[in-house]
Amino acid sequence: MDPHAEHHDHEAELPEEEKVRRAGHVVLDAVVAADVGGDDPDKAQAAMELVFEHLLEIDAIELLLDEETEELELDISPLIGGVMLVVRRLVAELAARDGVDEEAVVMSVRAALDAAAG
């Protein structure tokens, strides 16, 4: 028996809260992986592919088939939940560090996003 398949079967049974928690960790892994390759795009790509594989392993991203309509549905709710956990925590950390409220941090990030989109 393939131990990886057994691992995946176990992962498929994770409660939604655990999928969200693990997805948050994978989001942080992606931040680190983005820097892994340095100037080597192949290394950076390999690191990001590994991150994507982890999202699939924990079912943070699922492709579902609606048998009635025969339509495919992409469910990324655990991934979005993990992203929200990370962003909310980072906003809280920045607000506490700077002695401002969380709204001020969000406004600052919005301004930086708008400036970057230029």
What are the structural domain ranges in the chain? Answer: 3-117
pLDDT in tens, 32-67: 887 887 788 888 888 889 999 999 999 999 988 988
Query: Whole-prediction pTM value?
Result: 0.77
Contacts of 89 (CB under 8 A, 6+ apart): none
Asked whether the predicted pLDDT for residue 12 surpasses 60, the reply is no
Per-position DSSP letters for 37-98, written without gaps between them: TTT-HHHHHHHHHHHHHHHHHTTSSEEEEETTTTEEEEE-HHHHHHHHHHHHHHHHHHHHHH
Task: Provide the pLDDT for residue 34.
Answer: 79
- Does pLDDT of 1 surpass 80? no
Tokens 């390999």 belong to which residue? 46
Q: Distance between CA 33 and CA 46 in Å, rounded?
A: 9
Q: Which amino acid is at 8?
A: H
Tokens 């691992």, located at residue: 7
For residues 22-28, give the mean pLDDT: 95
What is the structure's pLDDT at 95? 98
Please report which confidence band the pLDDT of residue 103 belongs to, taking 50, 70 and 90 as the band edges: very high
- Percentage of the chain beyond pLDDT 90 is 63
Residue of higher predicted confidence among 56 and 118: 56
